[in-house]
Amino acid sequence: MKKTLSVLMLSLLPGLAMAAGEHGGHQGHDMAAMQQNMQGIGQPGKAAEVSRTIEVVMSDNMRFSPEQIQVNAGETVRFFIKNSGKLAHELVIGNLESLQQHAEMMRQMPDMKHAEPNMISLKPGQKGGLVWHFDQAGTVDFACLIPGHMEAGMKGRVQVM
């Protein structure tokens, strides 16, 4: 009986993992909706096309440093991101409306995990990188979507000239 139950449970695991999606309990994003939200903010860049690196520090005072960044349209930038705090933080690139919607989802599901190319989550003391291609002029926002962080002021802007 024990062996049958174990085999049954193991056979169900792949289905449960698929049902959970990439957000651990969230149904996952509809790819068309995700692409719609990404319109106007650029796209993941290629490391070979990086023209410069911009260092961004995330801290427990709920700020990014710098909060304002300027890039040129058509530029591919490597963001070198450091979490200098004692709390987990993340940097998510998007437009303000989609960031606010996603922040609301995160409040409802605080254990949500991400796997999108426009974001990076870092534990205290961690460093990481994100390569992004800014394909058109305008304003691109970024924020930490961990519940309460964006609301406390942890957001910034990229001005694309």
Q: Is 61 buried (19+), middle (13-18) or exposed (0-12) by CB count in 10 A? A: exposed
Assign 126 to helix, strand or coil: coil
Helices (H) and strands (E) in the chain, counts: 3, 10
Domains of the chain, by residue range, sit at: 31-160
Average pLDDT by stretches of 10, the chain with 161 residues: 42 35 38 50 96 98 98 97 97 91 76 79 96 96 93 96 96
d(CA 123, CA 130): 15
DSSP 18-72: HHHGGGTSS----HHHHHHHHTTT-EEPPGGG--EEEEEEEETTTEEESSEEEE-
Dihedral angle computed from the Cα positions of residues 91, 93, 96 and 102, in that order, rounded to the nearest 10 degrees: -70
Q: What is the reported pLDDT for 25?
A: 35
Q: What is the reported pLDDT for 116?
A: 85
For the domain 31-160, what is the CATH code? Answer: 2.60.40.420
Q: What is the reported pLDDT for 131?
A: 97
